[in-house]
A and B are shown apart, each in its own frame.
Chain A
Amino acid sequence: MLTFISQIINGLNQSAVLLIATLGLLIIFGLMNVINMAHGEMIMVGAFVTYIATSILNIPFLIALVLSFVVTALFGALTEVTIIKKLYSKPTETILATYALSIILKEIARIIWPLSQNVNMPFPGTISLGGVIVPRYNIFVVIMAILLLTFTIIFFRFTKFGKKIGAITQNRQMTECLGIKTSTIDTLTFAYGAGLAGIAGCILAPTTGVSYDMGSTYLTDSFMTVVVGGVQSLIGAAFSSTIIGEGRTVLAGVSNDTWAKIMIFLAVIILIRFKPEGLFAKERR
């Protein structure tokens, strides 16, 4: 029983990581309808920023967190202006271009850092929760996930900028007619999504280490989370990342990691067959 509870708590940690990794993708894919195959590599960029900041420049972790957001967001803006902007309304080309970008980023990282690098654990130590020992950092990750989700929801529901993005998603031409510069908003939205991926990388860095191929698994994982949760639903993403994260941890406890992944994958395919719009879809247009 105790191992089961500890698995549930571990699963919560995995779900939180998954949610943070998914949020950025959800904004770029769900709101802007851009398929960003370089999402995993943006996570990697954030992780490397954290590595450089904390291990080489000895900057405190929380500042590195902000730095990784800023740097990745700037990088995202640059990507949007140079690559994505020219390929709107061409989904296949966008997939290919961002995929090419992901290969290029990954290879550059591999040439500079061929081996996995470590980032010091910012909050060492463990605490006991009803007999289950949990690392402090895991609690920090869960709190961060909840904070980021809340912040993003508030950002899109209640700020002027968020409402503009909503307007563009619903009717681009009309929004343009009202005098809103959609092109700038696109760049900023993409930058925000990329920045969230950067934060995901920063949060992952102390637990998984920083390596050039760390992003690849998160790309498919977060896409699957989006598929399960529904493309435009933030709450859906929260639920589906919990389902997938918990499911995977519990199944991995029963068999092993690979079989858990296969099970979840099969479940997602069957789900797509019967509920293609995801579990928490807003009404279809």
Chain B
Amino acid sequence: MKSKLKDFPVNHYIDIALLIFLIFFPLFVKTFRVEMMSRYLCFAIFALSLDLLWGYTGLLSLGHAVLFGMGGYMIGICYQIQNGLPAFMTREGLTQIPWFYIPLKNPIAAAAIGILIPALFAMLLGFFMFSSKIKGVFFTIITLALAQIFSEFIINVQKYTNGFNGLQGVKRFAINGGEQLGKVQYYYIVLAIAVLVFIFCLWLSRSRIGKIATSIRENEARLGFFGYQSSHYKILIYTISGALAGLAGVLYTPATSSITTQDIGVAASTAVVVWIAVGGRGNLTGAVFGALFINWAQSLLSEHFSSYWQLILGGVLLAIIFFIPNGIIGQIIELQRRRTVEGVKIKEQSNANKGAGLWRQIFSR
């Protein structure tokens, strides 16, 4: 029994501890902290979506916040058009709600569209980029360009998106003009969805698709020799990742009650990469832990260092790459693995030749 407990992966202990902590979290803190935590949980979902793409499949996207923002803007627009024409549209000379916004009027429909559109967008982009045999590097660069262009685009079509000011006054899923959800209530909904997303990602990463994704990361050419069409799997993973990023955006906008171009551009895309790098890529715990840890650190430290935060983030990223390239959780998993492997080795050795065992043990360290 004892050895079985030891073999249980250490990251799942962390998962369970984190879950218990998050369940009881609202009981001990003020409501505004709960509100912050529900925002960070949305970031955790966002980080999970990128971890599928980057950590498992090896495709680094520097424009993932675009997909996040697409989801967020759908819900944002939904609550702008609840009471007729919003002020920013009248100011720009629109006389009625544009036809393509009408399906967004129902929040549930808007949420569904907010998941669907990023997924379709990712699929289309993936089709163009992965069908030809470009290197992963180009994917990174194209997505970076995408992030720059997308926030410029949102600012440019001010008529429809309120440009640089973003969308404010988003309700926490008030349906049919009813009351919006309470902050704590909304927190538990977000937490429940986050847990579901986590379990889904866990299932996906252990399924055949996940294993193929990992093989794409490790050796794409060899996968091709086995007769797999790696581009199909890349498009599939990117689509799933896009849907999850959209879901994170859909949940995030009501949590902060606003979305602006700050949330969708290059800086936001960089941030999520840093979370995963710090937490550890290629394992789901790392993504969640990184997102929660960095955001809490940011909110607690930014009272003192708000203007230096980006600088600190850059420094942390550089330090992580050089000293713990696996990330914090990745390093913990690695340590446990090494310990168990060494333990097995030592046991075998001491059984084989008991006399010289002690010296062997010392030298093998």
Contacts and interface: CB of A to CB of B under 8 A. Distances in A.
Given A224-B145, A258-B152, A104 B270 contact: no
A99 B317 contact: yes
A269 B318 contact: no
A135 interface: no
Interface in B143-183: 144-146, 148-149, 152-153, 155-156
B156 A93 contact: no
A95 B137 contact: yes
Contacts of A276: 132-134, 138
B146 A103 contact: no
B151 to A, nearest CB: 10
B93 interface: no
Majority-rule SS of A interface residues: helix
Contacts of B308: 107, 111
A116 interface: no
Contacts of B266: 216
Nearest to B133: A276
Contacts of B313: 103
B94 interface: no
A107 B311 contact: yes
A158 interface: no
A270 interface: yes
A262 B141 contact: no
A223 B58 CA distance: 20
Interface in A217-271: 217, 219-220, 223-224, 227, 256, 258-259, 261-262, 265, 268-270
Interface string A191-218: 0000000000000000000000000110
Interface residues of B, number: 42
B153 A262 contact: yes
Contacts of B155: 258
B273 interface: yes
Nearest to B137: A35
B310 interface: yes
Contact of B132 (A87, A220, A272): A272
Given A273-B129, A273-B131, A104 B145 contact: no
Contact of A100 (B132, B141, B321): B321
Interface residues of A, number: 41
A103 B270 contact: yes
A96 interface: yes
Contacts of B131: 273
A224 B144 CA distance: 11
25 contacts: A35-B141, A86-B322, A92-B60, A93-B321, A93-B325, A96-B273, A96-B317, A97-B322, A99-B270, A103-B311, A106-B310, A111-B307, A219-B144, A220-B144, A224-B145, A227-B142, A258-B156, A261-B152, A265-B149, A272-B129, A272-B138, A273-B129, A274-B132, A275-B132, A276-B134
Contact of A96 (B138, B141, B321): B321
A87 B134 CA distance: 22
A280 B136 CA distance: 20
Contacts of A97: 317-318, 321-322
Contacts of A216: 148, 266
Contacts of A103: 270, 310-311, 313-314, 317
B132 A101 contact: no
Interface string B307-343: 1101101110110011001000000000000000000
A60 interface: no
Majority-rule SS of B interface residues: helix
A58 to B, nearest CB: 31
A91 interface: yes
Contacts of A104: 311, 314-315, 318
A216 B146 CA distance: 13
Contact of B142 (A256, A259, A269): A269
Given A92-B60, A99-B62, 4 more contacts: A97-B321, A273-B129, A273-B132, A276-B133
Interface in A83-133: 83, 86-87, 91-93, 95-97, 99-104, 106-108, 111
B125 interface: yes
B140 interface: yes
B310 A223 contact: no
A265 B146 contact: yes
B277 interface: yes
A274 B133 CA distance: 10
Interface in A160-180: none
Interface string B280-298: 0000000000000000000
A275 B134 CA distance: 9
Contacts of A93: 321, 325
B357 to A, nearest CB: 38
**Which of A100, A259, A262 has the most chain B CB within a 10 Å cutoff?**
A100
A35 B153 contact: no
A36 to B, nearest CB: 11
Contact of B138 (A227, A256, A261): A227
Contacts of B136: 91
**Which of A96, A101, A275 has the most chain B CB within a 10 Å cutoff?**
A96
B128 A269 contact: yes
A99 B273 CA distance: 11
B317 A91 contact: no
A285 B89 CA distance: 54
A97 B321 CA distance: 7
Nearest to A101: B318
B271 to A, nearest CB: 10
B315 A96 contact: no
Pairs of residues from A and B, 9 with the lowest C-beta to C-beta distance, nearest first: A103-B314, A107-B311, A100-B317, A276-B132, A220-B145, A104-B314, A100-B318, A258-B156, A223-B141
